[in-house]
Amino acid sequence: MARVKKKQANTAPEGFPEKAWNKLSVPWRDAAQTKQTEELERDLIKSVRSMAEIVGEMKSDDKLSALQEQVKELKGAYTESISLEKAKVDFCVYLFNTRGTVISKDTKKAVDNLDEDVDEASFD
- Residues 20-77 pLDDT 10s: 999 999 999 999 999 999 999 999 999 999 999 999 999 999 999 999 999 999 999 9
The rounded Cα 111 to chain-centroid distance in angstroms is 21
Secondary structure percentages of the chain, helix, strand, coil, to 5: 75, 0, 25
Q: Give the CA distances from residue 40 to residues 30, 31, 91, 97, in Å, rounded to whole numbers and listed in that order.
A: 13, 10, 52, 54
Domain that holds residue 71: 62-121
The amino acid at residue 28 is: W
pTM above 0.75, yes or no: no
Name the pLDDT band for 2 (thresholds 50, 70, 90).
low
| Mean pLDDT of the residues in the chain | 87
* Number of structural domains the chain divides into: 2
Please state the length of the chain: 124
| Residue 12 within any structural domain of the chain | no
Name which residue leads in pLDDT, 84 or 3.
84
Region 96-111: what's the mean pLDDT? 84
Examine the fold and report which residue of 40, 59, 78 is the final residue of a domain before the chain moves on.
59
